[in-house]
Amino acid sequence: MSKPHLLRPALFAGAACLALAGVAQAQEPIRIGVIGEESAVAGASITKAAQMAADDINAKGGIAGRKVEVITYDNHSSAADGVRAFQRAVSQDHVVGVIATYISEVALAIEPWSARLHMPFITTGAASNEISKQVHKDYDHFKYTFHGWLTSAFIAQSICDAQHDLLVTGLHMKTAVIMSEDAAWTTPLDERYMDCLPKAGLQVLDHIRFNPDTTDFTPIFRQIEAKNPDVIVTGISHVGVQPTVQWRDQQVPIPMVGQSSQATTSTFWKDTNGAANGVVTASAATPGVALTETTIPFTEAYQKRFGDSPSYTGYTTYDAVHYLAEAVGRAGSNDPDKVVAEMEKTNYLGTVGRIQFYGKDDPFTHALKYGPGLVTGVTFQWQDGKQVTLWPADKANGKLQFPPFVKTQHAAN
Amino acid sequence: MLALQILIDGFAISALYALGAVGFTLLFGVSGVLNLSHGAIVVVAALIGWAAASILGTYLGNLVGVLAALAAAYATYFAVVRPIQRSPAIPREETEIFVLTGTLLWSIMIQVGAAWWFTDNPVTIRPLIAGVVNIVGVRTPANEVMIAVLCWVVIGLLWLLVNRTRAGRALLAAAINPRGLVLLGFELDSIYLLVWTIYGVLAGIAGVLLASFLGVGTNNIGQLTASAFSIVVMGGLGSVSGSLVAAFVVGYLETLTAYLVAPTLRPVPALLLLVLVVYVRPQGLLGRR
């Protein structure tokens, strides 16, 4: 009898401490720093979607009794501003994690700071392979970084898989020219293109990398036309409006497919005055197509609140706020190492698919797992102002259809 | 075939450069102002024109764009340039430096403001004429042909205005001897207002045409100012005909580089030539001082 008697006050004190801690945590929100590019089409969806995610979580009572609070920053598409915002989020605003950027250069600049400051960091739009390669190379140091969007290698793979089905099987196309902007994310993208396009059945006739400051694309289109390929495979994100409008105005007779990040949001149709008609691009998701049960409700709510459909970063950021907050909830504390351990166990059904991260031993440590049943991305085409999903086949809601100036029949000969 | 292609593309872009630079050089010749917010005013025309075109249609949209550039030019003159010119605190010999700095800062303000409002994505105005025409085997957008023609029509009208009207001749006189003009009873203020009006309209037309030809956004502001500046320095500061020649030299040099060397190196040879001109003939190709 004496044992419990002795233990009782200790237990009581312990329970009281836990309860007090619980009360303190119930009051303290889960603070998440979100760094976007407010002036860029692809990056402007980041902070908007994050705010929506926080509102949705809080409307359902928060995570483990804690509200989610999002603090937003603008990096003005600059790595230096991105790093400053990150430091401020950590030291001044005391966040538990940071979600940031569609620009690989910015993500790569923030990554070492995430390591130094032991701050969980998810990039929801950057694509460079280097982000996750770094984590693999020096795991103990860089494990705080997660890659919440497909790496360039998987984006290229997704495009090759899609174009094999659409162009090679569907339209008997045989040849392609790669046209990519010169940026950190397209180096691994093009590497994978060079490898997977021939395997998909498209021989690569030429590989053009151009300066993102290019304003006149006429010489580039002429150079491509001289090679007479069946299709142009793009890797563009910083540019988008100008090559697309000039492609239409000059009536370049070759279809454009690939990754055109700006084309993933509905503002692109307005910005190009409809020149986007016929453009095919990979993306995270498309309005009106239920990749999962949350895709359509999110897209519709976003459109209602902000007027335009989200770019791919909108979907991935909306998901990231959820799985980061849930990881913090499961960890039961703001301790970064515990949060990282829980993040690694992520198995979250988001708007873009089932989200899991590659482990320590995979070369793409902490990158999104790619594949059927996980995240594959979608391929869609702009048709008369609408994003029509073409791939994967089980999600498709339309067929390829090019504007009259684009010639696809010579490929069949 | 390639030569013809270069000839056609180079002509259109050169004509557009010429239109952009003529107002810039006239402004300097008449009022001694080097306006470093030139690119910003051109982009204001494009952005406002684009936004208006989605509501009012392409033609009215273009018109609104040109008026917006005119308003921006007036704002530059009344809010930035004239206060500096009139400030008793600024020594006379330093006015030009202050105007340069003032217009540069003004340009940055416009750029940041416009990027916040419109995003920094380039915008494009729907071409006035759609479709392509075949010029001896070269597929050319009809809009490109129209732009080249329109640029020359506007430059021709400007020539008529300057050489065939009383107000225009007063402009020329102000460029040569402003003090003499004042002695003859002309108001320098109204002449300055006239040249800023002409400048605003020219920059506006260049802006909306550029938006319908290649597309343009706030990120291009620095480049637009720089190219107008180098064309004008190359042609000879204040010399309208020099600017026209220089615009074509730069336009063709860029097009040749883009086609024959690499599109990425496009602006490099023209800048090298500019350095050479400044070194060998600092007054510019057709400069008079």
Answer yes or no: do B214 and A242 touch at CB < 8 A: yes
pLDDT digits 0-9 by tens, B36-78? 999 999 999 999 999 999 899 999 999 999 999 999 999 999 9
Q: CA-CA-CA-CA torsion for B221, B224, B228, B231, nearest 10 degrees?
A: 140
Query: Which DSSP category does A377 fall into?
Result: -
Q: Is A29-149+292-355 assigned to CATH 3.30.1330.40?
A: no
| Residue ranges of chain A that CATH labels 3.40.50.2300 | 29-149+292-355, 153-283+377-412
pLDDT digits 0-9 by tens, B118-169? 888 888 999 888 889 988 888 899 999 999 999 999 999 999 998 899 888 8
A271 touches chain B (CB under 8 A): yes
Answer yes or no: do A246 and B13 touch at CB < 8 A: no
Handedness of CA B189, B190, B194, B200 (dihedral sign): positive
CB pairs under 8 A between A and B: 87
Here the tokens at position A313 are 């970063």
Residue-level pLDDT at A17: 46
Here the tokens at position B266 are 């496009």
| Cα–Cα distance for residue pair A143/A287, rounded to 1 Å | 34
Handedness of CA A183, A184, A186, A190 (dihedral sign): positive
Residue-level pLDDT at B201: 96
Residue A24, burial from CB neighbour count under 10 angstroms (0-12, 13-18, 19+): exposed
By Cβ distance, the residue of A211, A249, A273 closest to B141 is A249
Cβ-based contacts of A241 with chain B (< 8 Å): 121-124, 215, 217
Residue-level pLDDT at B121: 84
Superfamily of domain A153-283+377-412: Response regulator (3.40.50.2300)
- Closest CA in chain A for residue B122: A241
Here the tokens at position B234 are 């190359």
Query: Which DSSP category does A99 fall into?
Result: E
Give, for all 413 residues of chain A, the pLDDT tens digit: 344 454 455 545 555 444 444 444 456 899 999 999 998 888 999 999 999 999 999 999 999 889 999 999 999 999 999 999 999 999 999 999 999 999 999 999 999 999 999 999 999 999 999 999 999 999 999 999 999 999 999 999 999 999 999 999 999 999 999 999 999 899 999 999 999 999 999 999 999 999 888 889 999 999 999 999 999 999 999 899 999 999 999 999 999 999 999 998 888 998 888 999 999 999 988 888 899 999 999 999 999 999 989 999 999 999 999 999 999 999 999 999 999 999 999 999 999 999 999 999 999 999 999 998 999 999 999 999 999 999 999 889 999 999 999 988 554 44
- Closest CA in chain A for residue B215: A242
Answer yes or no: do B127 and A213 touch at CB < 8 A: no
Sheet (strand A231-236) strand order? A203-210, A175-181, A231-236, A256-260
Residue B184, burial from CB neighbour count under 10 angstroms (0-12, 13-18, 19+): exposed
pLDDT at B263 over 90: no
Here the tokens at position A70 are 């999002």
- Closest CA in chain B for residue A209: B264
pLDDT digits 0-9 by tens, B204-238? 999 999 999 989 999 899 989 988 988 999 998 87
Of the candidates A246, A263, A242, A262, the residue with the CA atom closest to the CA atom of residue A254 = A246
What architecture is domain B2-280? Orthogonal Bundle (1.10)
**Which chain B residues have any C-beta within 8 angstroms of a chain A C-beta?**
5, 9, 13, 54, 115-116, 119-127, 131-132, 139, 141, 143-144, 214-220, 223, 255, 258-259, 263-264, 266
Cβ-based contacts of A246 with chain B (< 8 Å): 214-215
* H-only helix segments in chain B: 2-31, 38-56, 58-75, 82-86, 95-118, 142-164, 166-176, 178-183, 188-213, 221-235, 240-256, 268-280
Q: Which residue has the tokens 């301790």?
A: A335
By Cβ distance, the residue of B120, B139, B214 closest to A246 is B214
Instruction: Go through chain A and tell me how many residues it has.
Output: 413
A183-221 b/e (C-beta count within 10 Å ≥ 16 → b): bbbbbbbbebbeebbeebbbebbeebbbbeebbbbbbbb
Distance (Å) from the alpha carbon of A75 to chain B's nearest alpha carbon: 12
DSSP string, B88-117: TTS-GGGHHHHHHHHHHHHHHHHHHHHHHH
List, as ranges, residues 233-262 from A with C-beta within 8 Å of B: 240-242, 245-246, 249-251, 262
ipTM of the complex: 0.84
